[in-house]
Amino acid sequence: MKSISERDQQVNWHPYTQMQTAGPPLAIVKGDGVWLTAEDGTQYLDAISSWWVNLHGHNHPYLMDAIRKQTQLLDHVIFSGFTHAPAVDLSEALLTILPSSHEKIFYSDNGSTAVEVGLKMAIQYHVNRGANKHTIIALKDGYHGDTFGAMSAGGRGIFSTPFENHLFQVEYIDVPIIGKEDESLRQLSKIIKHHDVAGFIFEPLLQGAAGMIMYSPQILSEMIHLCNENDILTIADEVSTGFGRTGKYFAADYLSHKPDIICMSKGITGGVMALGATSATAQVYNAFLSDDKSKMFLHGHSYTGNPLACVVAKASLDLLQEDDTWTAIKRISTQHHQFVSNVMNHPYVEDARALGVVLAVSVKSGSEESYFNYLRDRLYNFFIHRKILLRPLGNVIYIMPPYCITDEELNMVYTAISDLLDEL
């Protein structure tokens, strides 16, 4: 009998995978906490929360139970003209942890669509008010997803090159990393002076896919303030930073000036089901209220507000709000900082950094830091061989574990990284 992995190769086309050269996929049959069990029984430690989605560990009984109960009641129903308790409960719960200026939640299906919604809200907001403001500003090297709007707002590079002719124009500013803050702010004000800017989109404090690049809340707050003064909506893409990853509920919690629109997905359901959500302030929402139907927000998806996804998201928020979860987040964060100081001076470490539960180590490679850095496959294979799922971004190794990871499990990952560095 053929294995799942063999059958897969006959029928499936996998994301971000060169199907000609990639090895056979690992078929996973079971998840439990940070552990994934493959069909041959081998267990792998999921140190990247399965593409940053899982918060509380795989197959958490409380989350599985929430879905099971909901399956007795309602699978799905259209969300235009209809509603249901799971969506209302989730929105109420989200609004208690979002910045207090946020008043409404718009649901979609994933991170890219949450961003599409954010961008379209910002653009239509100005159209509805009769303002001639269309330009979008974004940070260089940002990643906002793979749909066309999200791709347009993302940094231009290897992910977007084939589609370049089909993307809308965006004005970019440098990421305000340490030492570049003034230059970045200067670029922002210059663009504001010379364009009719509708919105500024950014991954707050942490640019994930670009290689876990970190920058300070102070400079982002200043940038948001400048946008506020110029009637420009600010869109925080918290798809990866939301739900505790940076050490607070949202990266926006570190900011003295809050964004107008926040895009959420990934951790929103604890990593169990696909769901996107975009929150907006009353000021944004009110610009869509009119007797004129054409001013309604012109967007919607078939599975908007799926009840199963909403109940599991609400259950995940219940867990996230427990003291034990925050103790775990602080513990992981402290350990990460300790590991950063341990490896910082290693001859093969270019840079090491940590924010919340995210740890990143840039390995010296002698060539440009990029997703296609030649070291990537060597690093990935080294860790898989050690039964640890890490998916380096080029030469950048990072950990973003579920919060249930124990000290012992974390040490397995740190030890593997140290061994790798010693072996280079």
Ligand X SMILES: Cc1ncc(COP(=O)(O)O)c(C=O)c1O
Summarize as ranges the residues that interact with ligand X (CB under 6 A).
110-112, 115, 143-145, 203, 208-209, 237, 239-240, 265
- Give the residue with the Cβ less far from ligand X, 142 or 307: 142
- Give the residue with the Cβ less far from ligand X, 46 or 409: 46
398 assigned to active site? no
Q: Could you tell me the two tokens for 286?
A: 């009110």
375/246 Cα distance (integer angstroms): 27
CB of 193 to ligand X, least distance (A): 28
65/312 Cα distance (integer angstroms): 9
| Residue whose structure tokens are 């209220």 | 289
27/5 Cα distance (integer angstroms): 5
CB of 238 to ligand X, least distance (A): 8
- Give the residue with the Cβ less far from ligand X, 49 or 335: 49
- Give the residue with the Cβ less far from ligand X, 206 or 287: 206
- Give the residue with the Cβ less far from ligand X, 117 or 209: 209
CB of 51 to ligand X, least distance (A): 7
Determine which one of 46, 266, 398, 403 is catalytic.
266
Length in residues, the chain:
424
Q: Give the CB-nearest residue to ligand X.
A: 111
Q: What are phi and psi of 116, to 5 degrees?
A: -55, -45
CB of 338 to ligand X, least distance (A): 26
- Give the residue with the Cβ less far from ligand X, 36 or 239: 239
User: Which DSSP category does 70 fall into?
Assistant: H
Residue type at 411? N
Alpha helix (H) residue ranges in 180-306: 181-194, 217-229, 282-286
The residues facing 389 across adjacent strands are 46
104 assigned to active site? no
266 assigned to active site? yes
62 assigned to active site? no
Residue type at 257? H
Q: What are phi and psi of 413, to 5 degrees?
A: -70, -45
CB of 146 to ligand X, least distance (A): 6
Query: How far is CA 101 from each of CA 200, 202, 257, 339, rounded to the nearest angstrom?
Result: 18, 19, 11, 37
Q: Is 63 left (phi over 0), alpha (psi -120 to 50) or beta?
A: alpha
- Give the residue with the Cβ less far from ligand X, 176 or 208: 208
CB of 160 to ligand X, least distance (A): 13
DSSP 325-340: HHHHHHHHHHHHHHHH
CB of 8 to ligand X, least distance (A): 20
| 136, containing H or E segment | strand 135-139
233/99 Cα distance (integer angstroms): 15
188/33 Cα distance (integer angstroms): 43
Q: Could you tell me the two tokens for 424?
A: 């280079």
Annotated catalytic sites, by residue? 16, 143, 237, 266
